[in-house]
């Protein structure tokens, strides 16, 4: 194919692997589009709805990490119109009997339901079939409803999260008789949680006209939407809907109102801008809007910080920016005097070392982390801080394995520049509007030199550009925004990167500036200089593989080539589990992907098995790089853009698919 544009748990838990009785029709591999609610509190029991396509015969749910168990409740797939019509015709014949039941005013709710269910059963109907009649009618008669077969089926699942389950991001996959689905994000929280009241609750006796009115015992749930901070509420937005919640606050409270939406479902293929663009607003006790947000800095998910001016009942409103909505427009709204980190200094450190961190933000119990131990491997990690009742949001922190130094002022012209080793990394700041920083680099001649900025992806407001000059001060390279396809969740690539072969002996100068000529103490960055190392990122899609016993699973390995590297990349199976093997596989020179086959054991696996791949890239005989292959999902944004979005693990499900019944 030609060029186109931390695993949070080491264990896998799987629950409710129901027995498959007899032969069943073979179906396409399941595909899920949302999980609602998209999380829950540790120590709680609740139900979730998984929406998608091809969800027949659900067997269980695979969840990364420990402490989450599930049980399948029900699969719901609306029958065709002709079947619904047959259900409706049969139901009409029961109308007189239902009216008779309604006339028995002395029946208890339980006895009434028993009589209803017996009548339905004798007519080859059930509560589920009657509910499907109502669901079908509501969907077809709603002019605002965007019907989408890709999320037209649902599976109800009972979830139990152990009290000691580690809070944070998990991924869940639905396992059916036909295979293992793609993953969806799921959050284990540590605050009290609830769900918004559903706009529609099916009432069987009421729908059938089989009970007197009013009947408080069978009435739908209330619509009260009160939050007792600190707490999280799960909701979803349907077409034109505006959700509203109230909470009591006292004068002086430092409230944080944070919403996760795009975080839960990163990309929607058939929506513009390609995700649920949530908007939140805060109304005071008089109903006046006092705060509003539709993002947080460069993150589409909004956050509000608000100091309560006077005690009273405040209201939070949630809606889509252009009032779209659908079942997969799910969100998690957290309200309270929550710890929230807004900045971190420095932005990174050297792998295996220690660093003193200074944290900025609100409601924090700690503003410093002394001698913070860094991991031994390079990458971007999340740093959190403690609050009174919970930990803060995670902010990105860059860990690298090259020597580091700090920028020294004055260095805003060629005559006062700083020297940087190769390879090396410098921590700097564009300290004032119009400021620029110069660095001297003694690179080897005849080899590719790369200068890269880490700023925006670490939360810095810097919109960096890089300019490289030769030893005579002549410009030889420039970059403003470098689009890096390996950053699957980034849609605004504001960090610059340049690659150039320095002329002569290799002396050159690198200038860092802000494209919008802004600056200040927050405009920090990390500039990395490297030379001669093969630069490539590897992604494997899909992240859920299915294979019959003794067969093979096919996975596509994508190579995101950087800095002109065009060589072969050998793919290997890393620490292969017993029974798994990978024959020689290579992404040929100049190609951006290759599909490889992974041989699987002769027997079915009890649970999906995690496997790992790595790539070996070489530049002649001088340089070799071992690169881990990151599991990912190939997602489409807004009908056109494609992203390789990293996920938790590459899992292989080895299971015989039931043959189609004759």
Segment 155-167 shows an average pLDDT of: 96
Q: How far is CA 4 from the centre of its chain?
A: 23
Tell me, yes or no, whether 523 and 411 share the same domain: yes
Cα distance between residue 152 and residue 239, in whole Å: 16
- Considering the entire predicted model, what is its pTM? 0.88
Give a three-class secondary structure readout of 407-469. Answer: CCCCCCCHHHCEEECCCEEEEEECCCCCCEEEEEEECCCCCCEEEEEECHHHCCCCCEEEEEE
Domain of residue 284 covers 231-337
User: Of 482, 500, 532, at which residue does a domain stop?
Assistant: 532
Q: Are residues 499 and 590 in the same domain?
A: no
Report which of 84, 27, 83, 79 is spatially closest to residue 58, judged by C-alpha positions.
27
Average pLDDT over residues 318-339: 96
Do 541 and 506 lie in one domain? The reply is no
As given in the structure block, the two tokens for residue 190 are: 């540590």
Say if residue 217's pLDDT is above 70.
no
Same domain, 408 and 388: no
| More confident of the two residues 136 and 14 | 136
- The SS3 call for residue 179 is strand
Band (pLDDT 50/70/90 cuts) for residue 660 is low
Banded model confidence at residue 176, pLDDT cuts 50, 70, 90: very high
Residue 432 lies in a domain: yes
Distance of CA 62 to the CA centre of its chain: 16
Candidate from 24-33, 244-253, 324-333, 624-633 with smallest mean pLDDT: 24-33
Q: Is 98 a domain residue?
A: no
409 and 527 housed in the same domain: yes
d(CA 193, CA 174): 23
- Tell me the average pLDDT across 426-452: 91
Q: What is the rounded average pLDDT of the residues 345-352?
A: 95
Nearest by Cα to 344 from 355, 357, 354:
357
Section 544-562 average pLDDT? 95
Cβ neighbours for 573, distance < 8 A, ≥ 6 positions apart: 580, 581, 582, 598, 611, 612, 613
- Band of the pLDDT at 105, cuts 50, 70, 90? confident
* Same-domain status, 310 and 241: yes
On whether residue 167 sits in a domain, the answer given is: no
Place of tokens 């990690």: 381
Where is average pLDDT lowest: 261-275, 380-394, 500-514, 615-629?
A: 615-629
∠ CA 263-265-271 to the nearest 5 degrees? 120
Pairing type for strands 395-400 and 348-350 reads parallel
Is pLDDT of 138 > 90?
no
Mean pLDDT of the chain: 89
Would you state the pLDDT for residue 506?
87
CA dist 618 and 532 (Å) reads 11
Are both 281 and 247 inside the same structural domain?
A: yes
Is a pLDDT exceeding 60 seen at residue 652?
yes
Q: pLDDT at residue 149 above 90?
A: no
In a domain, 127, yes or no: no
Q: How many domains does the chain have?
A: 4
* Residue 195 within a domain: no
Closest CA to 76 of 306, 327, 369: 327
**Bond from prior residue into 410 cis (ω within 30 degrees of 0):** yes
Tens of pLDDT, residue by residue over 10-43, are 334 444 443 332 333 345 899 999 999 999 999 9
- Asked whether residue 106 carries a pLDDT value surpassing 60, the answer given is yes
What pLDDT score was predicted for residue 14?
Answer: 42
* Same domain (yes/no): 500, 551: no
Identify the pLDDT of residue 224: 56
The answer on 512 and 416 residing in a single domain is yes
Q: Which residue has the tokens 């801080």?
A: 385
Q: Which pLDDT belongs to residue 440? A: 93
| Domain assignment of residue 52, yes or no | no
Q: What is the pLDDT of residue 621?
A: 62
| Structure tokens that stand for 204 in this block | 């069987």
Domain finish residue from 358, 392, 426: 392
Q: Tell me, yes or no, whether 548 and 588 share the same domain.
A: yes
CA distances from 611 to 168, 364, 501, 631 (A): 23, 39, 39, 10
User: What CATH number is attached to the domain comprising 633?
Assistant: 2.60.40.60
Co-location of 382 and 416 in the same domain? no
pLDDT at 255: 97
**pLDDT band, very low/low/confident/very high, at 81 (cuts 50, 70, 90):** very high
Residue 311, in any domain of the structure: yes
What percent of the chain has a predicted confidence (pLDDT) above 90?
Answer: 73
Report residue 620's pLDDT band, with 50, 70 and 90 as the boundaries.
low
Say which CATH number the domain at 236 has: 2.60.120.380
Domain boundary among 511, 532, 553: 532
The reply to whether 269 falls in a domain is yes
Residue 94 clears pLDDT 80, i.e. is over it: yes
- Position 5 pLDDT exceeds 60: no
In the predicted structure, residue 322 carries a pLDDT above the cut 50: yes
Tell me: do 528 and 420 sit in the same domain: yes
CB 379 within 8 A of CB 385: no
What is the band of 214 on the pLDDT scale with cuts at 50, 70, 90? low
């Amino acid at each position: 194919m030609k060029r186109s544009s931390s695993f949070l748990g080491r264990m896998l838990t799987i629950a409710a692997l129901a027995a498959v009785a007899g032969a069943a029709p073979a179906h396409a591999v399941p595909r899920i589009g949302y999980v609602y609610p998209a999380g829950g509190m540790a120590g709680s029991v609740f139900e979730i709805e998984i929406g998608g396509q091809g969800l027949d015969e659900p067997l269980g749910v695979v969840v990364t990490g420990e402490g989450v168990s599930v049980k399948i409740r029900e699969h719901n797939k609306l029958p065709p119109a002709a079947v619904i019509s047959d259900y409706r015709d049969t139901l009409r014949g029961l109308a007189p009997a239902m009216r008779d039941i309604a006339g028995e005013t002395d029946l208890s709710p339980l006895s009434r339901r028993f009589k209803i269910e017996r009548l339905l059963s004798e007519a080859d109907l059930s509560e589920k079939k009657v509910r499907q009649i109502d669901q079908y009618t509501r969907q077809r008669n709603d002019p605002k409803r965007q019907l989408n077969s890709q999320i037209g089926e649902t599976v109800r699942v009972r979830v139990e999260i152990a009290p000691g389950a580690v809070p944070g991001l998990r991924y869940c996959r639905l396992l059916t008789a036909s295979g293992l689905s793609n993953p969806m994000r799921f959050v284990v929280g540590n605050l009290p949680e609830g769900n918004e009241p559903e706009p529609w609750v099916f009432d069987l006796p009421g729908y059938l006209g089989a009970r007197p009115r009013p009947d408080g015992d069978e009435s739908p749930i209330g619509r009260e939407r009160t939050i007792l901070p600190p707490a999280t509420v799960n909701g979803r937005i349907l077409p034109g809907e505006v959700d509203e919640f109230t909470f009591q606050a006292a004068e002086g409270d430092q409230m944080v109102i944070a919403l996760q939406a795009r975080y839960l479902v990163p990309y929607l293929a058939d929506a513009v801008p390609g995700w649920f663009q949530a908007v939140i607003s805060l109304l005071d006790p008089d109903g006046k809007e006092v705060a509003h947000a539709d993002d947080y800095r460069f993150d589409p998910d909004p956050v509000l910080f608000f100091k309560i001016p006077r005690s009273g009942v405040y209201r939070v409103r949630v809606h889509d920016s252009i009032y779209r909505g659908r079942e997969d427009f799910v969100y998690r709204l957290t309200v309270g005097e929550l710890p929230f980190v807004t900045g971190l200094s420095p932005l990174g450190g050297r792998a295996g070392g220690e660093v003193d961190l200074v944290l900025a933000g609100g409601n924090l119990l700690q503003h410093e982390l002394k001698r913070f131990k860094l991991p031994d491997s390079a990458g971007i990690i999340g740093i959190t801080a403690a609050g009174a009742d919970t930990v803060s949001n995670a902010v990105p922190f860059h860990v690298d394995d090259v020597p580091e130094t700090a920028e020294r002022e004055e260095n805003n012209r060629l005559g006062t520049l700083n020297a940087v080793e190769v390879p090396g990394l410098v921590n700097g700041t564009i300290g004032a509007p119009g400021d620029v920083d110069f660095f001297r680099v003694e690179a080897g001649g005849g080899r590719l030199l790369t200068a890269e900025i880490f700023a925006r992806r670490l939360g810095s407001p810097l919109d960096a550009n890089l300019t490289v000059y030769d030893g005579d001060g002549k410009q030889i390279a420039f970059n403003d925004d470098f689009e890096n396809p390996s950053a699957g969740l980034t849609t605004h690539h504001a960090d610059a990167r340049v690659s150039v072969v320095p002329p002569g002996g290799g002396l050159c100068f690198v200038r860092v500036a802000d494209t919008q000529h802004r600056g200040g103490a927050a405009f920090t960055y990390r500039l990395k200089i490297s030379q001669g190392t093969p630069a490539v990122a590897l992604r494997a899609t899909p992240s859920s593989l299915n294979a019959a016993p003794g067969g093979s699973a096919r996975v596509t390995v994508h190579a995101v080539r950087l800095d002109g590297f065009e060589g072969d990349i050998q793919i290997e199976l890393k620490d292969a589990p017993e029974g798994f093997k990978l024959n020689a596989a290579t992404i040929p020179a100049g190609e951006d992907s290759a599909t490889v086959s992974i041989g699987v054991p002769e027997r079915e696996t009890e649970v999906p098995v995690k496997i790992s791949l790595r790539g070996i890239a070489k530049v002649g005989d001088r340089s070799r790089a071992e690169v881990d292959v990151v599991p990912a999902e190939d997602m489409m944004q807004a009908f056109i853009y494609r992203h390789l979005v990293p996920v938790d693990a590459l899992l292989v499900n080895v299971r015989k698919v039931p043959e189609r019944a004759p």
